[in-house]
């Protein structure tokens, strides 16, 4: 590893890797950022991917890109915090094909301490990041139980492990994600359902770029470098790197792994300071 302040090179994309041939996957929040990278990687690995997103147009665009690259993708507009919408979309998908994989990636962020987190903000974070996972997992588990099993992968965060400044409500929600992951993994062992979570540190997504433009106009590059070097490895993760871990955990090669959380954090948890 190079001295701190320098960056390690990003991995090169290869044609080899874990395969999902003959499997169908649902990816929530699949039209941008980490979710889009996961949908693309799964499709490139042989899966039929259902891209769920709050904006149907964004889901259609993502699915079209995947199809143009030779993959199989189906777009769906869905608010994961709405049981009626989730149940309707899931019913449509389950009638089309057996679903083997659910990736709960949809989520929203919030910046604020306890005292400046409004009740409305708290409820909004809980409704999407916690209740949204509950609603989606409830629908998927019923289907997976009836069809011989499956894999559920939830997107947690290093915010569930350590106290990050100004992330009170967000940290709360990701701690709940980890607890739900463990509970589902334990309760459905006998139904051949595996459930794990991933805890990323900072990932370079459109959300980050938008946050920097809004919060630090004119200082975007300076603050990007500062945030990047908060990770001991010297940079933010790329969405494709999170997708690589997601692919492994949802593949048959990870068949002995359940009830686990995987930090993908550039050394943040163990090497910080």
Structural domains in the chain plus CATH codes: 24-201+238-265 (3.40.50.720), 205-236 (no CATH)
Average pLDDT over residues 11-39: 85
Q: Which residue has the tokens 């709360």?
A: 172
Q: How confident is the model at residue 16 (pLDDT cuts 50, 70, 90)?
A: low
pLDDT at 135 over 60: yes
Average pLDDT over residues 20-37: 97
Q: Which residue has the tokens 């980490």?
A: 34
For strands 101-104 and 150-155, give the pairing.
parallel
pLDDT at 208 over 90: no
Q: How confident is the model at residue 230 (pLDDT cuts 50, 70, 90)?
A: confident
Q: 6-15, 160-169, 195-204: lowest mean pLDDT where?
A: 6-15
**Cβ neighbours, 10 Å, residue 122:** 17
pLDDT at 147 over 60: yes
Of the chain, the percentage scoring pLDDT greater than 90 comes to 78
- The per-residue pLDDT of the chain, averaged, comes to 92
Long-range pairs, 8-17, Cβ under 8 A, ≥24: 8/233, 8/234, 8/235, 10/238, 10/241, 11/241, 11/244, 13/240, 17/45, 17/244, 17/247
d(CA 170, CA 156): 10
Q: How confident is the model at residue 177 (pLDDT cuts 50, 70, 90)?
A: very high
Specify whether the CB–CB gap between 89 and 26 falls below 8 A. no
What was the pLDDT predicted at 41?
Answer: 98
**Cβ neighbours, 10 Å, residue 92:** 12
What was the pLDDT predicted at 14?
Answer: 42
Contacts of 80 (CB under 8 A, 6+ apart): 28, 29, 52, 54, 86, 104, 106, 128, 132, 133, 135, 136
What was the pLDDT predicted at 214?
Answer: 85
pLDDT tens-place string over residues 67-83 = 999 999 999 999 999 99
pLDDT at 9 over 70: no
Rounded to two decimals, the pTM is: 0.90
Any idea which residues carry the catalytic annotation?
A: 170
DSSP 129: I
């Amino acid at each position: 590893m190079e001295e701190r302040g320098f960056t390690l090179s990003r991995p090169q994309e290869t044609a080899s890797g874990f395969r999902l041939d003959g499997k169908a996957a649902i990816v929530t929040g699949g039209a941008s950022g980490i979710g889009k990278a996961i949908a693309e990687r799964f499709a490139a690995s042989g899966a039929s991917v259902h891209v769920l997103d709050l904006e149907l147009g964004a889901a259609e665009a993502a699915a079209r890109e995947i199809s143009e690259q030779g993959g199989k993708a189906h777009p769906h507009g869905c608010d994961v915090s709405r049981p009626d919408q989730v149940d309707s979309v899931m019913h449509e998908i389950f009638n089309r094909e057996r679903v083997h994989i659910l990736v709960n990636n949809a989520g929203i962020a919030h910046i604020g301490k306890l005292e400046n987190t409004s009740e409305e903000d708290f409820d909004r974070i809980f409704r999407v990041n916690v209740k949204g996972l509950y609603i989606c997992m409830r629908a998927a588990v019923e289907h997976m139980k009836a069809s011989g099993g499956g894999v559920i992968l939830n997107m947690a965060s290093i915010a569930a492990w350590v106290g990050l400044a100004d992330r009170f409500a967000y940290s709360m929600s990701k701690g709940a994600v980890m607890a739900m992951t463990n509970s589902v993994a334990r309760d459905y062992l006998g139904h051949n359902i595996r459930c794990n979570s991933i805890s990323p540190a900072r990932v370079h997504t459109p959300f980050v770029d938008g946050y920097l433009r809004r919060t630090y106009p004119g200082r975007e590059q300076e603050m990007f470098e500062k945030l990047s070097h908060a990770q001991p490895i010297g940079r933010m993760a790329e969405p494709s790197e999170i997708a690589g871990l997601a692919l492994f955990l949802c593949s048959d090669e990870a068949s002995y792994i359940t009830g686990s959380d995987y930090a993908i954090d550039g050394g943040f948890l163990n090497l910080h300071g």
